[in-house]
């Protein structure tokens, strides 16, 4: 792998930043100053430092983002996307959202370049749980809660799986748990009951929880423990038949 690509895929520096750092003598390869950003390195064994800091190579990347409203869960769009919240050195890594949150839905969103893991986590046969904090426009009755929990058929004929619902004392806010990810699912289910979602925030995705100390619009790489739990969930969550 070229040195400038190595520093790019490790989210250390863009290729232009690498060229400048090499010229300034701020990059070392196996203890010696790098002379050419295009030199080839073995990513599995090389020891690189960038401006005095050792570079850690990761084959795949996992970013946890606290998505704000107004951003599209896509790599490209006419409006601002979730990737625009990351520095340029991350946006050239081939990251993409693992699943989608509506433009006005906030909360936990996983960004990765690991297509295989994303596919497993999003497979409708895996039933990976996703939890959302919500507020509805009107009070939710016991019958409406039972309809959510039993699953329902929407106006276009779409059938939803049973969804968990915990209701707060105010009668119109709480937590919904899904095991699938149909288009605008919670909003459409609530609409089928003659109600409307006015706030929706994803607070968990599989083994990942939205950190209380991560502000809206902020992001961070997964910890080693979070990454291990995510990969285990992708690999070992039971596969169910499609219904």
Q: Are residues 116 and 142 in the same domain?
A: no
Q: Are residues 28 and 67 in the same domain?
A: no
Percent of the chain as helix, strand, coil, to the nearest 5: 25, 25, 50
Would the pTM of this model clear 0.75, i.e. be above it?
yes
- pLDDT (tens digit, 9 = 90+) per residue, 77-134? 888 999 999 988 887 788 999 999 999 999 999 999 999 999 999 987 778 999 999 9
Give me the number of domains the chain comprises.
3
pLDDT for 242: 55
Q: Are residues 137 and 200 in the same domain?
A: yes
**Model confidence at 238: pLDDT above 80:** no
CATH number (domain holding residue 25): 3.10.290.10
CATH number (domain holding residue 106): 3.30.70.580
**Model confidence at 30: pLDDT above 80:** yes
- Say if CB 231 and CB 121 are below 8 A apart: no
**Model confidence at 58: pLDDT above 90:** no
pLDDT for 155: 86
In which domain, by residue range, is 197 found? Answer: 130-205
- The tally of CA atoms less than 13 A away on the side-chain side of residue 9 is 12
Q: Are residues 118 and 220 in the same domain?
A: yes
CATH number (domain holding residue 146): 3.30.70.1560
- pLDDT (tens digit, 9 = 90+) per residue, 188-219? 999 999 999 999 999 999 999 999 999 999 99
Q: Are residues 162 and 197 in the same domain?
A: yes
Q: Are residues 160 and 50 in the same domain?
A: no
Q: Distance between CA atoms of 205 and 82, rounded to whole angstroms?
A: 17
Asked if residue 73 is part of any domain, the answer here is yes
Q: 162: pLDDT confidence band, cut at 50, 70 and 90?
A: very high
Instruction: Say which DSSP state 105 is in.
Output: -
Q: Which residues pair with 49 in a beta bridge?
A: 28, 54
Active site residues: 102
User: CA angle 207-228-225, nearest 5°?
Assistant: 80
């Amino acid at each position: 792998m070229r040195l400038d690509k190595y520093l790019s895929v490790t989210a250390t520096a863009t290729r232009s930043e690498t060229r400048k750092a090499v010229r300034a003598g701020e990059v070392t390869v196996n203890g010696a100053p790098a002379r050419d950003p295009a030199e080839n390195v073995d990513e599995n064994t090389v020891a690189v430092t960038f401006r005095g800091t050792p570079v850690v190579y990761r084959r795949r990347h996992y970013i946890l983002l606290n998505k704000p409203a107004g951003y599209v869960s896509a790599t490209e769009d006419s409006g601002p996307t979730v990737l625009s919240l990351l520095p340029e050195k991350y946006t050239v890594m081939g990251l993409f959202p693992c699943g989608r949150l509506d433009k006005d839905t906030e909360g936990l969103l996983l960004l990765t370049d690991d297509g295989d893991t994303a596919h497993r986590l999003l497979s409708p046969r895996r039933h990976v749980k996703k939890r959302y904090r919500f507020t509805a426009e009107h009070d939710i009755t016991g019958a409406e809660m039972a309809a959510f929990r039993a699953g329902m058929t929407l106006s276009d004929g779409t059938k939803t799986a049973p969804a968990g619902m915990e209701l707060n004392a105010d009668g119109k806010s709480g937590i919904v748990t899904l095991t699938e990810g149909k288009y605008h699912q919670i909003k459409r289910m609530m609409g089928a009951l003659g109600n409307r979602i006015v706030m929706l925030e994803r607070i968990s995705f599989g083994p990942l929880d939205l950190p209380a100390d991560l502000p809206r619009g902020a992001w961070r790489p997964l910890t080693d423990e979070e990454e291990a739990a995510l990969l285990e969930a992708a690999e070992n969550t039971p596969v169910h038949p499609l219904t």
